[in-house]
Amino acid sequence: MLIPEDQVRQRIQEIAEQISKDYAGKDLHLICTLKGGVFFMCELAKHITIPLTMDFMCVSSYGNTTKSSGVVKITKDLDEPIMSRDVLVVEDIIDSGNTLSYMLEMLSDRKPASIRLCTLLDKPERRRKKVNVDYTGFQIPDEFVVGYGLDYAQRYRNLPYVGIVRFE
Ligand code: IMP
Ligand code: MG
């Protein structure tokens, strides 16, 4: 166990409060990256007190299951245009930053009014591409983690806490 359930929920509530303040008077559009971001986005959205809409996108990197290769493909695009909207991308984790930098660049090309990034977890030690993170739940050490949406080979997403995988 790395981060217990009550701490995750507490932190998400704090971020939701901050987002509600920062976007007061605006029409917030949340974009969740599937599948890992789903648990975080649902919990976050429930605690945001301003009007919002949501959309989903699936971007995955080729390669093995514990390291991203830097080659990214869109397997599900957004349903709606984001032009002139205030977009907040909601991610499970930022590791090398490869996936995110690619995705943010592509979304920026669609001319949103603003685009910011919110992540539950951040592994800053492993960053290879610079990404500007606006809201971070927790900075964590360089460990492979699961739970709260994060998987190892598609398993353990449903754990209500964040745990470290020990490879024997
Ligand atoms: P990046 O492109 O290296 O930043 O990797 C981003 C994606 O890799 C995340 O959205 C996750 O899907 C996956 N990932 C990175 N680190 C972990 C981890 O510790 N556990 C589970 N998935 C991870
Ligand atoms: Mg992901």
- In 3D space, the residue among 121, 101, 141 whose CA is nearest the CA of residue 15 turns out to be 121
SS3 70: coil
* 115, two tokens: 């685009």
**Catalytic residue list contains 95:** yes
Lowest mean pLDDT among 29-33, 101-105, 159-163: 101-105
Which tens digit of pLDDT belongs to each residue from 69-127? 666 888 999 999 999 999 999 999 999 998 899 899 999 999 999 999 999 999 999 99
Give yes or no for residue 93 CB within 6 A of ligand 1.
yes
- In 3D space, the residue among 95, 19, 76, 74 whose CA is nearest the CA of residue 52 turns out to be 19
Binned at pLDDT 50, 70 and 90, residue 62 comes out as low
Q: Find the helix or strand (DSSP H, E) in which 91 lies.
A: strand 86-94
> Rounded to whole angstroms, how far apart are CA atoms 86 and 93?
21
Q: What is the pLDDT of residue 121?
A: 98
Give yes or no for residue 104 CB within 6 A of ligand 1.
no
Ligand 2 centroid, distance to 67 Cα (angstroms): 12
Ion ligand 2: residues, Cβ under 5 Å: 36, 92
- In 3D space, the residue among 75, 89, 1 whose CA is nearest the CA of residue 37 turns out to be 89
Q: Find the helix or strand (DSSP H, E) in which 12 lies.
A: helix 5-22
Whether the predicted pLDDT of 59 surpasses 90: no
β-partners of residue 61 are 72
Average pLDDT, the chain: 94
Decide if 126 contacts 96 (C-beta within 8 A): yes
> Rounded to whole angstroms, how far apart are CA atoms 1 and 161?
7
Catalytic residue among 27, 79, 92, 95: 95
> Average pLDDT for residues 23-40, to the nearest whole number?
97
User: What radius of gyration, in Å, describes the C-alpha atoms of the chain?
Assistant: 15
Return all residues near 53 (Cβ < 8 A) that are at least 6 apart: 27, 28, 29, 30, 80
Ligand 2 centroid, distance to 27 Cα (angstroms): 25
Q: What is the pLDDT of residue 99?
A: 87
